[in-house]
Structure 1
Amino acid sequence: MNISFENKRILVTGAGSGIGNGIATRLIKAGGTVIAVDRSKENLEKFKEAYPSIEIVVADIGDWKNTQESIKAALPVDLLVNCAGLDKVLSVPEITEDAFQAIFNVNIKGMIAITQVVVNDLLERNKPGSIVNISSKASTSGLLYQSLYCASKGAVDAFTRSVAVELGPKNIRINCVNPTVVLTELGIRAWSDPIRKKAVLDRIPLQRFAEVDEVADVVLYLLSDKSSMVTGHCLAVDGGYLAA
């Protein structure tokens, strides 16, 4: 399937590394103008060295006011990928208010703050748009010692569905992609323990974790006009995990 994003300005959060970087790279190769957002200035500068055409925005998206100001300075934006995320492995007795705020500030509050700025811009310009939120299979399947992360991703799914209903009449689509473990550098390290790894793989019918490009393929489809009748959907990229 040939998908082009020429003449499209696409904002990607979490673009400095991992899944976000993989998605942003694919969008560049498909002709899009990428606005890369990340809290790591170093990672963004390395990314720009490799792809000088990108625009970079250094922001801690957990800070609502400063993040919105930074995103407004990067407008106009035609397409949005909310990929930045944070996880902490904690049992219920270990949960603290700081841990709660850290995870929810990035995974849901920051995502909403950025979505609001982009949506307002699209509405003011009377333009169609497409938004993809990177959620997780954890939104619908409990993970041991990751209750805060699971709860935050459940909120991402619910927000996506509600916004799809609200903005559909304005021709602005919004969807989720819900991956299983993805083999980024962090993912490989986090799931290096063979016992923990096997426990998850045994529940995946395809018997493997996802590659970054397999997530990016779905994101590019949902951003593009090829998915023009798809909105409010949470698409699992999980090798059949949720079906088993």
Structure 2
Amino acid sequence: MNFSGKSVIITGAGKGIGRATAQLLAHRGAGVVAISRTRSDLDSLNAEIGGRSIVADLSVPSEARAAMAEAAGCDFLINCAGTNVLESVLEMTDEGYDRVLGINLRSALICAQEFARARIAAGGGGAIINVTSIAGHRGFQYHVCYAASKSGLEGATRVMARELGPYGIRVMAVAPTVTMTELAAQAWSDPVKSQPMLARHPAGRFADAADVASAIALLLSDDARMLTGSMLAVDGGFLAV
């Protein structure tokens, strides 16, 4: 899986899965365009891997479109930007809904739209990977907006695969289990909650960001050239049992 000569846009590249993916793909030769809303995160990433960086709040549609216009010309897009607000159905707020759906779903659709338009104008080809979650497949308490956003993104992934396939653009999703990023730690740091969940993983552990990055690299590679519209669960067997 050598990506020399290829370039990739990664949203949410400052932390977690996005950062691990940027590090892995850069190590394998790809030129990385990292998008994040936090300049300090991008500066530290650039010091490690080089590449280009763009500061943008992707929850603002105009900023998302401007960032994609600046990043134009890349072969791949990885939609990693994500957030969560821990609210139950009865406690859900308009602010929480707008924050989670705005980042996790709307920004991913905008970035995919702009990427696809640019690829088609350049003759087609390339790939989009959307990072979803097993929360879109199982009902986790206090994850109502998060689950809605990730389920929605998987549905959109299938639509995009159908519509963009004629242009040679593959579109896939990876659905990680609990991945111990800063965001996940907020939801899963309590052993009373995490241990029963961990016991449901045949692999015997939660994922780390590098596990998800490796799966993304696999889907981007030529070895996966017949895969599109697919969802790959990076879950240590959780969904299988």
TM-score range, shorter chain: over 0.9
| Runs of at least 5 residues in structure 1 that lack an aligned partner in the other structure | none
For the Cα contact (< 8 Å) 2:84–2:183, is it kept in 1?
no
**Post-superposition offset of 1:192:** 2.2
SS in 2 for 1:6: coil
**Stretches (4+) displaced over 6 A:** none
Shift of 1:61: 0.7
C-alpha distance in 2 between matches for 1:111 and 1:185: 20
CA contact (8 A) 2:73 2:118 kept: yes
The aligned counterpart of 1:200 is: 197
**How much does 1:184 deviate?**
2.5
Deviation at 1:74, TM superposition (A): 1.9
Deviation for aligned residue 1:24: 0.5
TM-score w.r.t. length of structure 1: 0.96
Residue pairs, 1:66-215, within 5 angstroms: 66-188=63-185, 190-215=187-212
Q: Aligned Cα RMSD in Å?
A: 1.1
TM-score by structure 2 length?
0.97
Superimposed CA distance per residue, residues 53-75 of structure 1 (whole angstroms, 9 cap, x where no aligned partner): 21001011111112101210221
Residue matched to 1:34: 32
Offset from partner CA, 1:2-40 (integer Å, 9 cap, x none): x11111110001100111000000010010000000011
3-state SS, counterpart of residue 34 of structure 2 = strand
- The aligned residue for residue 231 of structure 1 is 228
For the 8 Å contact 1:130–1:224, the answer to whether it is kept is no
- Secondary structure (helix, strand or coil) at the match of 2:85 reads coil
What percent identity do the matched residue pairs reach? 36
Conserved 8 A contact 1:68-1:113 = yes
Q: 1:6 and 2:4 equivalent?
A: yes
Task: Give the aligned length.
Answer: 241
5+ residue gaps in structure 2? none
Please give the secondary structure, in 1, of the residue aligned with 2:117: helix
Secondary structure in 2 matching 1:105: helix
**178-187 or 15-24: which moved more?**
178-187
